[in-house]
Structure 1
Amino acid sequence: MFSQKPVLTGARVTLRPVGPEHADGLLALVSDPEVRRLTGSHAVPDPEACRQWCATRAGQPDRLDLAIEAGGEYVGEVVLNELDPANLSCNLRIALIGARAFGKGYGTEAIALALGHAFRTTPLHRVHLEVFAFNDRARHVYKKLGFVEEGLLRDALRWDGEWHDAVVMSVLRPDWQARSETLP
């Protein structure tokens, strides 16, 4: 379903298929302490693993990994993964490179472009995600783009000795279609 790896262009960002040229940007992203907290990533960043990961994304027909670029610079990634073709569903995840990319509308536009691609060019019916309850900024963006809170995964993340819940959210094709004229 994601065998085509498009370039998607918006007013602020361009989404490009992840390739080897994005390895340094990905390493910076996964090394940022705030990004690690927001994504719940406990893994130790590994430069070679980042290079291998970026080099293999083009050959994955069941997922779409897109680098977010602004002004020609890597500022993050947005991914459609965990494809469930029988139920026409997939997961969305996004990460921005940190303070230099936060609050500029890059994430909002990247998600809108990814959803537009998913709902215009594939038969997908549902796109879902999880976001930690403490991430108010992301939850606000997801709601603005049509995601609905469906439930709570209690104590899903242990970070610095404290437990945090994850909020499950989704957007359905009919909901997106009804709102798509107002999205970037």
Structure 2
Amino acid sequence: MSALTLTLDPVVQVSKEQFYQICANNPDLRLERNANGELVIMSPTGSETSSWNSDLTTDLNIWNRQNLTGKVFDSSGGFSLPNGADRSPDAAWIPIEKWNAFTPEQRKKFLPICPDFALELLSPSDSWLKGQLKMQEYMDNGCRLGWLIDPENKRVAIYRIGQPVEIIEAPSNLSGEDVLQGFILNLKNIWSS
């Protein structure tokens, strides 16, 4: 099942604080809010996609623990983007300097920032086009590096700030380049499944 979009305007305007509370009161739902204020209700992923996402986040976190350069977030971490959207990438990273600038109260809620790195892993029911639009939204809001991984079609779209999108067919690995220096993500287990 793909994501459902619930249009609330003009009946109800949901503030950032109200949206956060809706998410906190409904922890079994995976919700996002787009820049138009519409609620996006996403279905759970299948076991295969969930396992891959866990592996990807674990690899990113292991690299980060060795380098101590930032903070890693999984798919349940929310970010309030400058355009007004509230998004939860499948994996994300911000530099430690940005994390340290947030107050303890800000850290408990959705961070008011776009991550420097965002990864989206498409499940079989996800749309490539919608994934591309979401990745472009991250880039438009200050993300420096993004990966859209499509296991079904064995392709990756790489988003870099100020550069055209690069689409690569079944790469064996991806480099974190100058954003995640020294990070190499192995994709062989995703393509071989």
Same fold (TM over 0.5): no
TM-score, normalised relative to structure 1: 0.36
Q: Which has the higher helix share?
A: 1
Q: Which has the higher strand share?
A: 1
TM-score, normalised relative to structure 2: 0.35
